[in-house]
A and B are shown apart, each in its own frame.
Chain A
Amino acid sequence: MRPDPEDLYRRMARARFCEEALSALWERGLISGEMHLGAGEEAVAAGVTAHLEEGDAMALDHRSTPPLVARGVDLVALFLEMLGHEEGLCAGKGGHMHLFSRDLLSASSGIVGSSAPLGCGFALAAQYLNPGKVAVAFFGEGAVNQGMLLEALNLAVAWKLPLVFVCKDNRWAITTRSREVTGGRLARRARSFGMPATRVDGTRVEKVWEAAGRAVERARAGHGPSFILASCPRLQGHFLGDPLLRVFREPLRQTLEIGPPLLRSLFSRPLTALASRVPRLGTIGKTIALLGVERYVLERDPLQRSAALLTEEARRRLEEEARREVAEAVERALETAGRREENA
């Protein structure tokens, strides 16, 4: 089997433009709550969903839009849901952290780690009711320290479930660098449960596609679960309006907010402790600096990287189609929501 670069890129472009549209709606105050974008995860979403067929299931985390969009969820219903409209995907009751599509056998949850056991359940039902069908569980590298996720890894092996664990490693869990609170290596951890684990560059859609192909095939054949560890960037911070990214976007305002209390702590009694406190201030500074360097200097955009697989003409055509499709969906959703006048 060979990947179809156009199909993969179409999935990615649609997902990206949806994330951009969500960002714009959020800025306008039309989306509430913590809006976690999956911008940066498009290659993972596309490379995995390209192997899924009707009857396969997805258990999703708090960045659930790219896999849903890549798999073909109705975009108008998706946007209406984000706007809290009764004609939305979940009647406006779920919102972005709780998207459910019964048609696509896909469910998301804002509870970190919960997608893994849910995926086990989807896979169990497939094994029993629909042999040959599979489930995929998506989660972040931070979630791999969650007890229920570790239990799910074992459960999937013990029951030989047709399940693919997809860990999106963006190195961060909110403001925590995951490696600082994680023992060992994640791929090795997964392997120690007795399943194959592959590390891939999650910004390269063809690599993800290959790894996911092997894992899905294994699951369909009834040989049990696999684990894919895909590195990818977190292009829009933890959530929209991420205060750490705001440090870079509005340095003065954020420094004025964060600075004075920190200085008060630095100089609180006993002053003899000052010497040990300075490095702690350094720890905080370093975390913020690292986040900035990763975001603004090192990050590689999966869309740009995958564009190399296509001719310039094909890329432009696919982007144009996707952009138009998303824009039309947003327009129709806003129209339905009666908020068109704010569209200016």
Chain B
Amino acid sequence: MPEMTFARAIDFALETAMERDERVVTFGEDVTMLRRDLFVRFGPSRVRQAPISEAAFLAAGVGAAMAGLRPVVEIMLVDFIAVAFDALLNQATKVKAFSGGKWNVPLVVRASCGGGYGDAGQHEQCLWGLLSGMPGISVVVPSNPKDAAGLMLSSIECDDPVVFLEHKLLSDYWLDYLGLGGRETVSFDVPEAGARGEVPSPPVPVPIGKGIKVREGGDLSIFSLGVSLHRCLEAANQLEDYGIKPAVIDLRSACPLDRELIVSSASRTGRVLVVDEDYAGYGLSGEVAALLAESGVKADFARVCTEEVIPYARRLEDEVLPNVRRIREAAVRLCALSP
């Protein structure tokens, strides 16, 4: 299996899909440069530069998908989707239901997300909770190159709208553009296992809505995704010193959730910790709790999430985003509840 970066893995999957299917096109701001390799290979009719008009070109993606294309529309940073929200909330996700199931929207929205490089809360949000709140959408959040390629392939093959989120701390070019700028005077806590790794060639689809247990343990179940998943694994190592062995589950999709995996792991350990870089309220962590309650699973529950607007100062940001210390402390507290 070739080794590649997280970012390359995504484009590799997109390239594979474009090679296989003429209907796959991609458009967005600056794609001639951002996707220059694809641009050279497939040309401007399939890799199309857009003006700063997200509301129009995302909604155009909906129309194009309805009329036979399979567009992968790029919203540079997921934060910017706010200006184009109608395209998802009231158009893309309504078509299938309103047409009585007779018309579907095979649209992929590709956006970078996440923080950890001091860009503050207009550019570092995750928003998968907000996006997942709409019936009719899937939201995927890979944590490593293999899943990134596999989920991109599945997203393109999916006949309904999917939001594909690419964490900037894992994507070398985003981090270089937005964080490093070629400097050697700054550094970021990049999880190596997420930023680079082996990817099957051609990529193997990873099913949307399927999580995976990445660490065995019987004391508690930690559910996470994206960069936080790596923070959880680091915390899990430290927890060994406390005599705590957590199971760590990479949800991989924020929506739909892998109900079976969540229920089975939580039932076994009786303790659940959700670590979510997205906002604490009205989101993924609450959804996991609701799912467990609905399934009749009795488990002690805690969460480590982002609770406020992400501040600019890096030392403040480090505390606001889920970090290893907060995860470890939450796990220890949780295990002390019912020794």
Contacts and interface: CB of A to CB of B under 8 A. Distances in A.
B102 interface: no
A292 interface: no
A146 B313 CA distance: 29
Contacts of A281: 40
Interface stretch (B176-184, B194-202, B256-264): B176-184
B312 A92 contact: yes
B49 A180 contact: yes
Given A97-B120, A243-B177, A146 B52 contact: yes
A13 B36 CA distance: 39
Residue with the greatest number of chain A CB neighbours at <10 A, chosen from B34, B38, B120, B183? B120
A33 B123 contact: yes
Nearest to B123: A110
B52 A143 contact: yes
A184 interface: no
A283 B32 contact: yes
Nearest to B119: A33
A258 B33 CA distance: 10
A144 B56 CA distance: 13
Interface string B262-304: 0000000000000000000000000000000000000000000
Given A148-B83, A284-B40, A142 B51 contact: yes
A268 B180 CA distance: 31
B322 interface: no
A33 B117 contact: yes
B185 A111 contact: no
Contacts of B130: none
Nearest to A273: B41
Contacts of B181: 26, 34-35, 239-242
Contacts of B311: 92-93
Nearest to B82: A111
Interface string A188-212: 0000000000000000000000000
B83 A113 contact: yes
Contacts of B122: 97-98, 109-111
Contact of A84 (B43, B79, B314): B314
Contacts of A240: 181
B313 A84 contact: yes
Nearest to A174: B30
B45 to A, nearest CB: 11
Nearest to A284: B36
A181 interface: yes
A32 B314 contact: yes
Contacts of A86: 313
B84 to A, nearest CB: 9
B182 A243 contact: yes
B306 to A, nearest CB: 14
A98 B177 CA distance: 19
Contacts of B44: 280, 283
Given A98-B312, A268-B41, A33 B32 contact: no
Interface string B167-188: 0000000001111111101100
A132 interface: no
Interface stretch (A43-51, A120-128, A259-267): A259-267
B36 A243 contact: no
Interface of A: 26-29, 32-35, 81, 84-86, 90, 92-98, 109-113, 142-143, 145-148, 173-176, 178, 180-182, 239-244, 246, 250, 258, 261-262, 264-266, 268, 273, 276-277, 280-281, 283-284, 287
Given A29-B183, A81-B312, A173-B30, 6 more contacts: A33-B117, A95-B118, A97-B123, A176-B49, A178-B51, A277-B43
14 contacts: A33-B312, A35-B181, A93-B312, A95-B120, A110-B120, A112-B80, A173-B29, A175-B32, A176-B51, A181-B51, A239-B177, A276-B43, A280-B40, A284-B36
Interface of B: 29-30, 32-34, 36-41, 43-44, 49-56, 79-80, 82-83, 117-120, 122-123, 176-183, 185-186, 309, 311-316
